[in-house]
Every structure is written in C-alpha cells, then in structure tokens.
Structure 1
Amino acid sequence: MIGSRIAALGHYQPATVLTNEDLAALVDTSDEWIRTRVGIRTRHKAADDEPVDELAAHAAAKALAAAGLTARDIDLVLVATSTAVDRSPNTAARVAARLAMGSPAVMDLNVVCAGFTHALASADHAVRAGSARRALVIGADKMTAITDWTDRTTCVLTGDGAGAAVVEAVEEGEEPGIAPVLWGSVPEMGHAVRIEGTPSRFAQEGQTVYRWATTQLPPIARRVCERGGVAPEDLAAVVLHQANLRIIEPVAQRIGAVNAVVARDVVDSGNTSAASIPMAFAKLVERGEIKKGDPVLLFGFGGNLSYAGQIVRCP
C-alpha cells in the first residue's frame, strides 16, 4: 500500500459579491450585527445560470494547472456537495465532461460541511488500495440557492464557491502527505443542521451547533493530530470548516495550535459548506503564508453533526 499526497490546489468564486449592507436592505440586520455575531464582511453569489458543477470545474482546472497535469491524467473524481440540483448525471460526471477527461470513476459525496475532508480521505484510501493513481477531490456548493432570504439568522452566513485538490500516489519510500483520517458523527443531533423541504432550504439551530463545535471538537482535533504524528504546537496552519469566526477562533485556540496560521476565509467568503476548507487552504498557499511540506490540520464539521479531519503536508 502506497500513501498519497496533495500535489496542488485550486479555488474559484463567482464574481458577484454581497456585502453586509446589501443584506441589510433585505432583512432586519446591519454590518455591525453580522460582524459581531459571525465575523463575516462579504460573500460571493453565483448567478442563477451558474450551476455547482461549473463552480467545481473552474476550481478543478486551476488545481490541474498548478499540478502541471492534464484532465486525462486523472482516474478518479470525487465531488463533495450538498447543493447539486440533479441526481444524474452526478456533479463529478459533469465536471469530468466539462474538462474533457478520459474515463475516470466519478462519485459525489454528501457530508455537507465536512464533505471535503471525507472526500479527501476517500481519495487517499483509493490510492492506498491501488484503485486510483491520481484523483481530483473537489468541494463545491451553491449555498445561496438554498438560502432563506427572509431568515436574518442564516441568510447572513452563506456564500458560493469551490476548491479542489489533486491527490496522487507518493513515490516508493516517500513519506505520505495525507495522514489517516479521524471521522465520525452525532446522528441523534443531525436535526441541528438541515437542508430540507421542497424547495430545499438551509436551517440550523445555531446555539446547539456553537456549543457542540466549541466544546466537543477541540479534543477530537487533538486526536487527529496524534493520529498524524504532529503535536498541535508544531502545526503550521489550521484550516477548519469556515462556519463562523466565533466558532473558528475558540476551537483553534483550544486545539493548542499556538504557532499556526489560522484560516479566516469566512470573513470574505461566508460559509461555503464543502467548499470552505479547500478554498481557505488554497488561499493560504497562494499567498505564501505556508510553505511546501508544512504540516496542516484540515478539520471539517457540520451537517449530520459529522466531522472528519486529517494532517496533510502543504503542496
């Protein structure tokens, strides 16, 4: 069994930006109220005719270019999303068609906000098992399409975007760049984050999620570090699901990653669900805030009260 690594990252966000002032014209809110409670300043909104697979394909193309690969070098496409409209063809198949790939295996995973880290682990497993050599792992969501624009507690949170990673097998004798995943869920509390109804709408029990995230997740994240063989104080970066700055900052502090750069992309992008971790990670790399080989904690959490985390090495 040969391990895997992340070879390159890419991200994409739609051109339209919604500010807090824009939202204040829709519901009873204000820039101060939003910043104080969730830390968000802006978020991106896809056009009505800009589907999830288009967002995903843009991010994937950037990741492939950064890796120096073509679409036909990929033999597995995994897309983490909970906002795809159609059931078939799935989003992964549509991304493969947009990029003119050969004949990759194509699968979607719906683990909502923890989707990317679940998909990354699945790609790592496929490489280790020998069923894939190079995989494209994408987190993409169009959260604004399922937003209730009359609910002042949730409409201020959501944004659209996509992030992608090229995952490939390491050379023989090379240390893996993706450590074993630690994942799980609290299914009896799954009602705390919902995308339900016709049409589907996002809703959550904010205080329940906040208490769970800030109290239960830090010890789990420290176990992720143990599994990856890295002490929290040796982490170069912490990339949590970009849910809410009031969750990200205390969780990162309680993990004990005192020397790490903490991703705060939620401030400019809002909550983009499965896209949030790969987008935030790609931006840290793009800005040069972390360097090749640095240990990074990726930790997704959210819908189903699912969680998944792993230590990865910066590409």
Structure 2
Amino acid sequence: MTAPLKPTTTVQATSVLGLGVYRPSTVVDNEQICQWIDSSDEWIRQRTGIVTRRRAPADVSVVDMAEGAALDALRDADTSAEEIEAVLISTVTHPYQTPSAAADLAHRIGATPAAAYDISAACAGYCYGIGQADALVRAGHAKKVLVVGVEKLSDVIDNHERSISFLLGDGAGAVVVGPSEEPGISASILGSNGEKWGAVSMDSSLLRLRDALSEAQTTGDASRLLDPEERLWPTLRQDGQTVFRWAVWEMAKVAKQALEKAGISTTDLAAFVPHQANIRIIEELAKQLKLPEHVLIGRDIVDAGNTSAASIPLALHRLRAENPEISGGLALQIGFGAGLVYGAQIIRIP
C-alpha cells in the first residue's frame, strides 16, 4: 500500500481582499467618434448609453495598465507583492500570443516566482479569473491571487467600422483574492455557447498579413503591405443584434443561477455589476431580475465605454467610490461576450 498524500489545504473560504483600477488619461467623446462614423451624439447615447470612453496613448501597453491597477489593488488589500503566489490576467488585447502578460506583470511588481498565466475569455474573462482564483486558494495552490482584467481595445478597432468600434474603451481593474473566515466568493457559474462563436470576433487580418509578407518576400513587391484597403491588422467586429438578444434573454437566467448557488436572493444584494456592454442590456437585465430599489447598479459604461474584461472591476470600483457604505455588502457580477462565453458569481465587496 502506497503512502497517503498530504492534504493540500485547510482553506474553506475566500474573499476579495482589495480592489484597484487604472483609467487612461485620454477621454474620447461622441463628437470625436462621429468624425469617423456616420452617426450622432444623440444616437450613440440612446443606443448604448455611452457619453465618453477612455483610450490609452500609443506608449501605454496592456501590461502598463495592468500594473497600475495591480498596485492599486495591493494597496487596497494591504498586501505586498511578495505575498502573491499566482497572477492571472484576463485580456484579449495583449499583442503577444506568448509569453504571457501575466508573467511580465508578476516580474514588474515583484511577485516572482508566482504562477502566472493569461485567460482568453473576452468580456467574461474577469469572472473566469475570480472563479479560478477562488479555486486556487481553496485548493492550496496559492495563498493569495492577483486577478486583473485589462484591455487596450483601441489597438484592435477600425475607427470607421460601425458595428462595435464606437463602443470600446481601454482600462484595467484588479483584485486580490485570499483566504477568509467567512465565504466572500460564491460558487461560479461558467459556460459557453459555441453555436454563436462568430458573433463577436477579430477578423482574419493576421492571415492576410502572413500572405502579404510571403508575397513581398517572394516577388519583392511590398505594395500590398502598404495598401490601406487590405487592413492587415486584426479588428474587432460583431453581429450586434445576435449578441443583444443572447445577452438579454440568456444572461438573466445565468444571474439567477448564480444567486441560487450562493443561497441568496436579490434582496440580499448591495450591488449588481454586469459587464458594461450596453446600457440597454444592463437595464433589461436589472428589470428581469426584479432588483429592489436599494440595489445599486453599475453603469460605468456612460463614462468608460465597453472595456471588455476590465469593465466589471472598473464599474465596481466606481460604485464603491461613490457609495462607500456598500463595502462589506454583496455584489452580483456577470460577464458575457465573444465565444459566446459567460461567467457569474456573488462576491463580498472589499
């Protein structure tokens, strides 16, 4: 008979210990957006709720923004980088397939030799990260985990493309997850619907770029590389109606599952923080959930736009800053996006 393995942990509960953000300095309003697309400030406000969005300058990278949010979260959690044993970054805009943004961030903040990896789950990526951090701590793989949602979506949009470009902004949000005496993170609801895989996606520009480079090397003719009509850098596009209908009708069901898993009702909530995709989706979800009047709703999209994996921590941070009395209360958070993927859980607000 072989020797028994040592139990990995005695941790039974986890919580979000601290919250931080990074908001780029450049503000882009709807009038500027309308220089690129045939639209109006009124139309954008009515359809999306967006008044402004933040865009990072060219010399500010995904990891730069992640670092700003991470250091802010560590301060809020009164935690040193040396205590972090895993770094998770949710992003789809890190310009390198490998190495990961997380490994770079861990080195920058002094969390080495923490485990580090990126999560590609688009607008649900932050909720995926919270679910994984909760599991890592409870399984004994890390005492404390840094989770960052960060996007530089301005790098992957065509400003003249009308289906999604005017929605998008840049930014980062981060949290520290660690052990606690009482449960502060509920069981996560994570899932996907690959049948609608192409409803939000980056086009195949990188494949065209590969072909154009090969052609230039073979023929010596680089004209295709310089042709603006080729659009050889990948750009985001979406089928807006498909995404809207899916989010409105299916995500309310997911939110209700998260509440049931946590063993609470909407009356127990202090806040509802959905992915900041569109103000009409946010309002419809709140309506379907029949949220009581005391539940605060994240509407960061008005000033920040849709920041994909960063949107939930950014919205929660704003809610807490404007309403400090919700600290210690419960928040229902739900992310959904390209894939189509979704994630939801209840957290206790730090």
Q: TM-score normalized by structure 1?
A: 0.96
Q: Deviations over 1:171-198 (max 9, x none)?
A: xxx2210000011111111111112322
Helix, strand or coil at the partner of 1:296: strand
Root-mean-square deviation (Å): 1.1
CA distance in 1, matches of 2:190, 2:106: 28
Q: 1:166 aligns with which of 169, 173, 176?
A: 176
The equivalent of 1:148 in structure 2 is 158
Segments of structure 1 that go 5 or more residues without pairing to the other structure are none
Structure 2 counterpart of 1:193, which letter? V
Q: How far 1:62 moved relative to its partner?
A: 0.3
The equivalent of 2:229 in structure 1 is none
Q: How does 1:1-315 map to 2 (within 5 A)?
A: 1-170=11-180, 174-197=181-204, 198=206, 199-258=233-292, 259-315=294-350
Structure 2 counterpart of 1:115, which letter? G
Q: How far 1:290 moved relative to its partner?
A: 4.5
> In the superposition, relative to structure 1, how do residues 201 and 11 fare at CA in structure 2: closer, same or farther (>3 Å)?
same
CA distance in 2, matches of 1:64, 1:79: 15
CA distance in 2, matches of 1:256, 1:226: 15
The equivalent of 2:217 in structure 1 is none
Does the 8 A contact of 2:163 with 2:239 survive in 1? Answer: no
Does the 8 A contact of 2:85 with 2:115 survive in 1? Answer: yes
Helix, strand or coil at the partner of 1:156: helix
Q: How far 1:256 moved relative to its partner?
A: 2.0
CA distance in 1, matches of 2:250, 2:113: 42
Q: How far 1:289 moved relative to its partner?
A: 4.8
CA distance in 2, matches of 1:234, 1:253: 17
Segments of structure 2 that go 5 or more residues without pairing to the other structure are 1-10, 207-232
Does the 8 A contact of 1:74 with 1:104 survive in 2? Answer: yes
CA distance in 1, matches of 2:159, 2:140: 46
Structure with higher Rg: it is 2
Question: Which runs of at least 4 in structure 1 moved beyond 4 Å after TM superposition?
Answer: none
Structure 1 counterpart of 2:182, which letter? E
Q: How far 1:160 moved relative to its partner?
A: 0.1
Helix, strand or coil at the partner of 1:217: helix
Structure 1 counterpart of 2:248, which letter? T
Does the 8 A contact of 1:17 with 1:44 survive in 2? Answer: yes
Q: How far 1:2 moved relative to its partner?
A: 2.0
CA distance in 2, matches of 1:136, 1:49: 24
Q: TM-score normalized by structure 2?
A: 0.87
Structure 1 counterpart of 2:50, which letter? I
CA distance in 2, matches of 1:152, 1:189: 20
Q: How far 1:288 moved relative to its partner?
A: 2.5
Does the 8 A contact of 1:92 with 1:108 survive in 2? Answer: yes
Q: Deviations over 1:21-65 (max 9, x none)?
A: 111112211100100111100001111121101110100000001
